[in-house]
């Protein structure tokens, strides 16, 4: 009976190991057997049958990786391949990929993105939700900030949207309302070039904006895109409509835009993202606008995080009675899904 039980247990474990086709070896010499879910922003998501939660592993901690599955794999120079991934014997942190029918070696540090072919919709989706609340007895002050940010990453394109609000109330002062939102995406071209289309929305009391809607289309280039940061520049055309909360007439403007983006991650549990855009108007002589955003995020256990954010908007030709600029600084606590 004991021998039979031992055989059954051995058979079960062998089948389990066989079904778990992906293997990774970490810098502490631990070996995990399971499935590669994705790797992006220098974090490898790895699932196993013996733990309900996925492992989130820093890419720099991976020494070896073995999988016969097919993946979409992106490298530093912007090229993308459909290939399996296998570590090279005797070469630490080096893998082979199938490039046009031949095996080519790459250092692990040059691989910036891995996605299983046929991965589910939800495996490609990341959602951040955070809230901030400030309450003081003086003047019965109440403030609520909220942020929802979602990103979907596919083979040759990425879609992103966010919605941010600031609501403030206090006795003896005018209520403060602000809304920032964006919906858009990028289509990746060879050698780190990309096309971009975005719809950007802003409402704030300081500039008397009921709603500013900006629709932009252009292209850009990643000067740096690796496992610790990216730095990009993009430019194009934009069309903006503005509705105001006072008697000022609506405005429409045809504009150009020039923008820079910087994202630094893998600083331990800290990441920093910032972007700045200049909008010179073609239809309103001498007018230009500036938008600036800064976010710093510190990851906590169980996918929670703390976020610090700053948004700044400037218009050198505001409407009558409106300020030429508005800014908001927020602190919030949130949770990341997937």
Output the pLDDT for position 100. Answer: 83
**Helix, strand, coil share (%) of the chain residues, nearest 5:** 10, 70, 20
Contact 210, 219 (CB under 8 A): no
Regarding whether 330 and 192 lie in a shared domain, the answer is yes
* Cβ neighbour number for residue 117 with a 10 Å cutoff: 11
Regarding whether 132 and 112 lie in a shared domain, the answer is no
What CA–CA distance (Å, rounded) separates 325 from 244? 15
> Among 103, 119, 135, which residue terminates a domain?
119
Regarding whether 34 and 74 lie in a shared domain, the answer is yes
Regarding whether 60 and 141 lie in a shared domain, the answer is no
According to DSSP, the residues that pair with 215 across neighbouring strands are 199, 239
* Cβ neighbour number for residue 170 with a 10 Å cutoff: 15
Arithmetic mean of pLDDT over the chain: 88
Regarding whether 66 and 205 lie in a shared domain, the answer is no
Q: Sorting pLDDT into bands at 50, 70 and 90, what band is 118?
A: low
Output the pLDDT for position 69. Answer: 87
- Structurally, the chain folds into a number of domains equal to 2
Express each pLDDT in 83-115 by its tens digit. Answer: 999 999 988 899 999 888 889 999 999 999 888
pLDDT higher than threshold 60 for residue 13: no
CA 306 to chain centre: 16
Kindly give the pairing relationship between strand 304-315 and strand 176-188: unpaired
Regarding whether 275 and 323 lie in a shared domain, the answer is yes
SS3 172: coil
Tokens of 166: 């600031």
pLDDT higher than threshold 70 for residue 14: no
Express each pLDDT in 33-52 by its tens digit. Answer: 998 888 888 889 888 877 66
pLDDT higher than threshold 50 for residue 234: yes
Regarding whether 295 and 160 lie in a shared domain, the answer is yes
Regarding whether 198 and 282 lie in a shared domain, the answer is yes
Q: Sorting pLDDT into bands at 50, 70 and 90, what band is 171?
A: confident
Q: Sorting pLDDT into bands at 50, 70 and 90, what band is 153?
A: confident
Domain region containing 322:
123-337
Give 317 or 140, the one with higher predicted confidence: 317
241-246: average pLDDT: 92
CATH number for 227: 2.40.230.20
Regarding whether 113 and 183 lie in a shared domain, the answer is no
Regarding whether 164 and 90 lie in a shared domain, the answer is no
What CA–CA distance (Å, rounded) separates 179 from 243? 14
pTM: 0.81
What CA–CA distance (Å, rounded) separates 200 from 295? 17
Express each pLDDT in 183-216 by its tens digit. Answer: 999 999 988 899 999 999 999 999 999 999 999 9
> Among 91, 119, 147, which residue terminates a domain?
119
What CA–CA distance (Å, rounded) separates 307 from 312? 17
Tokens of 189: 């071209």
Output the pLDDT for position 119. Answer: 65
Output the pLDDT for position 5. Answer: 43
Contact 270, 295 (CB under 8 A): no
According to DSSP, the residues that pair with 185 across neighbouring strands are 159, 197
Regarding whether 98 and 17 lie in a shared domain, the answer is yes
Output the pLDDT for position 52. Answer: 66
Please list, in sequence order, all residues whose beta carbon lies within 8 angstroms of the beta carbon of residue 143, skipping any fewer than 6 positions away.
132, 133, 134, 135, 166, 167, 168, 169
Contact 336, 132 (CB under 8 A): no
155-179: average pLDDT: 88
Regarding whether 51 and 128 lie in a shared domain, the answer is no
> Among 119, 143, 173, which residue terminates a domain?
119
């Amino acid at each position: 009976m004991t021998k039979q039980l031992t055989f059954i247990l051995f058979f079960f474990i062998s089948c389990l190991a066989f079904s778990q086709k992906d293997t990774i070896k970490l810098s502490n010499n631990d070996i995990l057997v399971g499935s590669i879910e994705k790797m992006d922003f220098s974090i490898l998501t790895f699932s196993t049958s013996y733990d309900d939660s996925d492992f989130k592993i820093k890419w720099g901690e991976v020494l070896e990786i073995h999988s016969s599955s097919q993946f979409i794999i992106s490298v530093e120079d912007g090229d993308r391949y459909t290939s399996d991934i296998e570590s090279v014997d005797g070469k630490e942190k080096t893998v082979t990929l199938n490039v046009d029918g031949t095996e080519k070696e790459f250092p692990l540090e040059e691989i910036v993105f891995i996605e299983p072919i046929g991965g589910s919709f939800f495996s490609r989706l990341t959602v951040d939700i955070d809230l901030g609340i400030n309450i003081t007895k003086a003047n019965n002050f109440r403030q609520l900030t909220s942020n929802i940010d979602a990103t979907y990453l596919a083979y040759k394109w990425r879609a992103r949207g966010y919605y941010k609000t600031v609501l403030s109330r206090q006795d003896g002062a005018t209520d403060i309302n602000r809304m920032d939102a964006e919906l858009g995406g990028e289509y990746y071209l060879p050698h780190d070039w990309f096309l971009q289309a975005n719809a950007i929305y802003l409402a704030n009391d300081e500039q008397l904006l009921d709603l500013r809607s900006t629709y932009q289309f252009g292209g850009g280039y990643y000067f740096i895109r690796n496992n610790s940061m990216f730095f990009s520049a993009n430019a194009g055309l934009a069309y903006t409509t503005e509705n105001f909360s006072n008697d000022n007439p609506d405005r429409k403007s045809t504009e150009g835009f020039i923008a820079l983006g910087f994202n630094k991650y893998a600083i331990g549990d800290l990441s920093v993202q910032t972007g700045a855009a200049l909008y010179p108007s073609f239809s309103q002589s001498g007018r230009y606008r500036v938008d600036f955003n800064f976010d710093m995020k510190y990851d906590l256990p169980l996918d929670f995080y703390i976020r610090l954010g700053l948004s700044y908007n400037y218009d050198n030709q505001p409407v009558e009675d409106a300020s030429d600029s508005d800014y908001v600084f927020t602190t919030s606590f949130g949770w990341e899904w997937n």
